Amino acid sequence: MAETYALVLEGSPSSEDVDTVTLGLGRFNREVGGIVNFKELALFIRNTAGQTVGGLLGYSLGTRLHVETLWLDETIRRMGHGARLLQRAEEEALARGCRVVDLSTFDFQAPRFYEKRGYVAFGELKEVGGVHNLYFFRKYLDRHCHEA
């Protein structure tokens, strides 16, 4: 008798289930694609009391650094902290052997911030959430690497 499978939508998945999927893909990427070097990146801005008031989260994989999240508390915006986080992430990406950084941002978030730092839009999803556009950006870190 053939085994049956159920598709289940989980509102709050267990860490074990998330790990099973994430680690399974990682194993596939290594074994089939030869893509190695997965490593998380976490940078934080902390105030004098040690509270986190901003940060950048992402990961490196192969020669790519993906910035998943960059956030600053409203009280410290426009003070250069975002540029510092991004610069430090790029430095770490180079140290890890990455050649490109990619990220996404909504039109009401920070597309101009990234453009000012050398990021180039390579894709767009229109009307995400009704009226907003989502932009995909990349920046090549290796001067010998250029856009095709």
| pLDDT per position as a tens digit, 61-98 | 999 999 999 999 999 999 999 999 999 999 999 999 99
CB 139 within 8 A of CB 90: yes
Determine contact, residues 41/60, Cβ cutoff 8 Å: yes
Domain 35-140 maps to which CATH number in 3.40.630.30, 3.30.565.10, 1.10.10.1590, 1.10.3720.10?
A: 3.40.630.30
Rounded to whole angstroms, how far apart are CA atoms 135 and 125? 7
Which residues make Cβ contacts (< 8 Å) with residue 116, sequence separation at least 6?
A: none
Structural domain boundaries of the chain?
Answer: 35-140
How much is the pTM? 0.85
Helical segments of 11-139, H only: 15-28, 81-95, 111-116
How far apart CA 92 and CA 79 sit, in angstroms, is: 22
From the list 142, 72, 59, 75, the residue with the least C-alpha distance to 113 is 72
pLDDT tens for each residue of the chain, 148 residues long: 889 999 999 999 999 999 999 889 989 988 999 888 889 999 999 999 999 999 999 999 999 999 999 999 999 999 999 999 999 999 999 999 999 999 999 999 999 999 999 999 999 999 987 899 999 999 999 865 554 4
